[in-house]
Every structure is written in C-alpha cells, then in structure tokens.
C-alpha cells in the first residue's frame, strides 16, 4: 500500500489549507482531495448528519485506494472521527482547534477561539478546553456565515471583513494574545485578520501539525512511499458541488490540476 494515495476530505475548500501543508512536507506522496461542497457548511448540521456525511466521504476515498484518511474539517473531526475509527480499519488523522499550543504560549492568559457551532458544541472540543484551559481564559466565538462566504470566494469583501470585526473585537477587548482558528476554512482569512488584530496577537492554525502527524503515522505504519516511482505520484481533486469554486482556489494556490466533478 506504500504507493497508495493519502485521502483528505472536508465540507468544501477549507481542507485545501491542510492539503497544502501535507503536500509541502510529503511531496513524494499522492493525495486525493474530496470537497463535499454540496453539503457545506457542516457547522450547523446535526451530529448524526455529520457522521453520515463523513462515512460517505470516507467510502469514496477508500474506493480510490487511500491508505490513510485526513479528516480536514474541525466539525467532522469533533463529531465523527470516533465513529469513523470504529467503522473502518484505515488510519485516521483529525483536526481540532490548537488550544494546547495557545495555552502553553499565552502571556496574558487569554486565548480566543474562532470556530463553527458544530465544533464549539462538540464533546471533544469541550474536553480539550477543560484539559488545557484550566489556567487560562478561553474566549469562544462562533464564526457564523464565514464558511459560506469563503465557499463563494468572497474573502476580500466588506461583508466578510465586517463579520470578522464583529467576532474579533470582543476578543481583542478581552486582551487575547493568541487567536486559534478552529475551522480549516479560516486560514484563507489570515490576510484580513492580520489587518484587524493587534501585532501582539498570534494566529494559530493546525495545518503544519497535521502534516507532521501524518508523517509520523505513515512512518509507524511503514506506509511511506519509497519514492521509487515518483513519476506515478499525483494530486487529484474532486468536488460534488460547483467545481468552479474548487478550481478557483486551486488556481490561487498555483496548482495546474483542475478538479473532477462527481455525484455522491
């Protein structure tokens, strides 16, 4: 299975921020990315619906021979990854807000978390907050509407900037010095966030950490591509919604490959 691809899925284009880090660190690995754009956003769906969608996405990636699955969606991870690990034998790597590093580095004792409703209300997020938030104050804000705007390619609009201002202002007033991005879509907003946030506030997302964890799991499972047939490696992108959205973001990443429309 060493030459088999890594599978990555998200509710839309947000997981591309994770794919980019994985591809950067593991350039010898093939990847298959699935954007479940038709069902985005996941943040306001029920846990049962999120699990059902995550199973469907996993089954598609496994049909393509994927040797490992990255759940590149905070909401899907916090609500569905336990069910996925129970149902399937393939290794899974999930995403959750990077509260631990934020808690370890904060000087003010105040950490902001911007995430979806589905992530903030999940038991996994609440456990992580309890485990690492005992000595600090965590200020949570639901980024309602942000995922939909990003999925429409409307990052640099007045509407998006105003929403961010509404969510971020109370955190800044509370004296945070770290802002945890609890959704893989949100790194697309980092340029705007840098304009809004004071210079002393660090922006933390988990893309690089996920890539490193992927490397570790592949090494432990002896699943790393040996690199003997690098000409056969590929990066494939699938969307079950409007593929123009995914192609728009791929083009912005400088990726020549265009996505493939599917019906799942």
- For residue 223, give the nearest of 26, 25, 19 by alpha carbon: 26
Residues in contact with 215: Cβ distance below 8 Å, sequence separation at least 6, in sequence order: 25, 26, 224
Q: Which residues pair with residue 218 across a beta bridge? A: none
Distance CA 251, CA 262 (A): 20
Whether residue 66 lies in the annotated active site: no
Tokens of residue 171, six digits: 């955190």
Tokens of residue 208, six digits: 């690089």
Are 180 and 190 in contact by the 8 Å Cβ rule? The answer is: no
Distance CA 199, CA 201 (A): 6
Whether residue 31 lies in the annotated active site: no
Among residues 31, 66, 183, 206, which one is catalytic? Answer: 183
Helix (H, G, I), strand (E, B) or coil at 218: helix
Write out the catalytic residue numbers: 73, 183
């Amino acid at each position: 299975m060493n030459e088999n691809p890594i599978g990555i899925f998200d509710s839309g284009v947000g997981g591309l921020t994770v794919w980019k880090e994985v591809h950067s660190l593991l350039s010898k690995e093939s990847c298959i990315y699935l954007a479940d754009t038709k069902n985005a956003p996941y943040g306001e769906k029920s846990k049962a619906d999120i699990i059902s969608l995550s199973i469907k996405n996993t089954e598609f990636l496994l049909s393509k021979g994927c040797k490992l699955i990255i759940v590149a969606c905070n909401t899907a991870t916090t609500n569905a990854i336990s069910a996925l690990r129970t149902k399937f034998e393939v290794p899974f790597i999930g995403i959750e807000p990077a509260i631990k590093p934020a808690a370890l580095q904060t000087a003010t004792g105040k950490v902001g978390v911007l995430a979806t409703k589905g992530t903030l209300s999940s038991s996994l997020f609440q456990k992580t907050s309890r485990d690492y938030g005992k000595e600090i104050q965590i200020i949570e804000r639901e980024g309602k509407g942000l995922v939909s705007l990003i999925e429409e390619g409307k990052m640099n609009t007045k509407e998006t900037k105003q929403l961010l201002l509404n969510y971020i202002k109370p955190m800044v007033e509370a004296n945070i010095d770290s802002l945890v991005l609890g959704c893989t879509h949100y790194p697309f907003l980092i340029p705007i966030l840098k304009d809004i946030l004071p210079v002393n506030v660090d922006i933390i997302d988990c893309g690089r950490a996920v890539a490193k964890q992927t490397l570790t799991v592949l090494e432990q499972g002896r699943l790393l591509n040996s690199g003997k047939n690098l000409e056969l490696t590929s990066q494939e992108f699938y969307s079950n919604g409007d593929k123009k959205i995914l192609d728009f973001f791929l083009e912005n990443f400088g990726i020549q490959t265009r996505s493939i429309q599917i019906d799942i």
